[in-house]
Amino acid sequence: MAERIRLSKNFSLSEMVKSSTAERLRVDNSPSDIHLVNLTHLCINILQPVREQFGVITINSGYRSPALNAKVGGSKTSQHCNGQAADFESFSTPNPDLAKWITKNLEFDQIILEFYDGKDPNSGWVHCSYNLMGNRKKILTALKTKSGVVYKNGFVSK
Ligand SMILES: [Zn+2]
């Protein structure tokens, strides 16, 4: 696959499909054509505007093939499997600030502030999805608790 394909000004296909787990376990993580279309829209509508506002961001996870998603224990309905979602963070801007800016300025389907601990501005990351078929603008916070991961509506701290 031509991984140097550019999906938007600053994002290439290679960083949207890169996965150390896929490399280690030799799991195929190639998107289909429709997934590629979704990834392109995700880059153009979410990641590129964030990049232009805040500078370089790191993509922790973009596309996940069903095989890879199973290996990383992702939800079976994960939007990562459709090429509609990415996990990312900035090392210069606190993750809650990134997340709030997106909700005020961009069209998005679902945003989750994941595992921000309320103290370290670099803790956790932002999960955000974009759906060509319509966006719900759903806002959630994922918190790690003793009984597991808990999702709350809106942006909340512990
Ligand atoms: Zn995610």
Who's near 80: CB < 8 A, 6+ residues apart? 61, 62, 63, 64, 69, 74, 86, 87
Report CA(5)–ligand 1 centroid distance (Å).
22
Report CA(13)–ligand 1 centroid distance (Å).
17
The band of 4, judged by pLDDT with boundaries at 50, 70 and 90, is confident
pLDDT at 1: 54
Report CA(46)–ligand 1 centroid distance (Å).
14
Report CA(2)–ligand 1 centroid distance (Å).
24
Whether 130 contacts 151, CB under 8 Å: no
Report CA(91)–ligand 1 centroid distance (Å).
18
Report CA(158)–ligand 1 centroid distance (Å).
20
- Whether residue 61 has pLDDT greater than 70: yes
Report CA(33)–ligand 1 centroid distance (Å).
21
Report CA(113)–ligand 1 centroid distance (Å).
10
The band of 2, judged by pLDDT with boundaries at 50, 70 and 90, is low
Note the pLDDT tens digit of each residue in 10-58.
999 999 999 999 999 999 999 999 999 999 999 999 999 999 999 999 9
What is the mean predicted confidence (pLDDT) over 3-9?
A: 88
pLDDT at 118: 87
Report CA(127)–ligand 1 centroid distance (Å).
5
pTM: 0.94
Report CA(109)–ligand 1 centroid distance (Å).
13
Note the pLDDT tens digit of each residue in 94-113.
999 999 999 999 999 999 99
**Which residue from 65, 72, 74, 68 is spatially nearest to 36, judged by alpha carbons?**
65
Report CA(37)–ligand 1 centroid distance (Å).
18
**SS3 of residue 6 by DSSP:** strand
Note the pLDDT tens digit of each residue in 112-138.
999 998 889 889 999 999 999 999 999
pLDDT at 104: 98
The band of 74, judged by pLDDT with boundaries at 50, 70 and 90, is confident
**Kind plus residue range of the DSSP H or E element containing 156:** none
